[in-house]
Amino acid sequence: MELNALLTALQTHLPEILRWSGAIAKRLRHFNIAVENKTSGSALTDALTLADLTLQELIVAALRDRDPIFLQCRIEAEEKTGDLDRFSEDAPYVLSIDPIDGTKQYRDKTADGYCVMIHLRDSETVHYSLVYIPETGEQGTWVEAVHQRVVCGPDDFSRPAREVLDAMPAIDPETRPDSSQIYLIGFQDEDTSNAQLVTEAGLKGVPPEEMPGSIYDHLATGAFGGSLIHTPNVYDFPVSLHIARILGGDAVWVHNGEPVNFHEHWLDERADMLRLPGITACSANPNTLKILCDLAKDWSPIRYKD
pLDDT tens string, the chain, 306 residues long: the values are 799 999 999 999 999 999 999 999 998 887 766 665 544 344 444 445 778 888 999 999 999 999 999 999 999 987 788 899 999 999 999 999 999 998 778 878 777 889 999 999 999 999 999 999 999 999 999 999 999 999 999 999 999 999 999 999 999 999 999 999 999 999 999 999 999 999 999 999 999 999 988 999 999 999 999 999 999 999 999 999 999 999 999 999 999 999 999 999 999 998 889 999 999 999 999 999 999 999 999 999 999 987
Q: How many domains does the chain have?
A: 2
pLDDT value, residue 41: 42
- Together in a domain, 272 and 241: yes
- Together in a domain, 199 and 128: no
Q: Is 100 annotated as a binding residue?
A: yes
Q: Is 78 annotated as a binding residue?
A: yes
pLDDT value, residue 46: 40
pLDDT value, residue 70: 98
Q: Is 67 annotated as a binding residue?
A: no
pLDDT value, residue 103: 78
- Does residue 227 lie within any of the structural domains? yes
- Together in a domain, 210 and 274: yes
Sheet of strand 250-253: strand arrangement? 204-206, 181-185, 226-230, 279-283, 250-253
- Together in a domain, 185 and 160: no
Residue 98, CB half-sphere, CA atoms under 13 Å: how many?
Answer: 26
pLDDT value, residue 50: 76
Q: Residue 76 belongs to what domain range? A: 3-171
- Does residue 157 lie within any of the structural domains? yes
Under 8 Å between Cβ of 114 and 25: yes
Q: Is 101 annotated as a binding residue?
A: yes
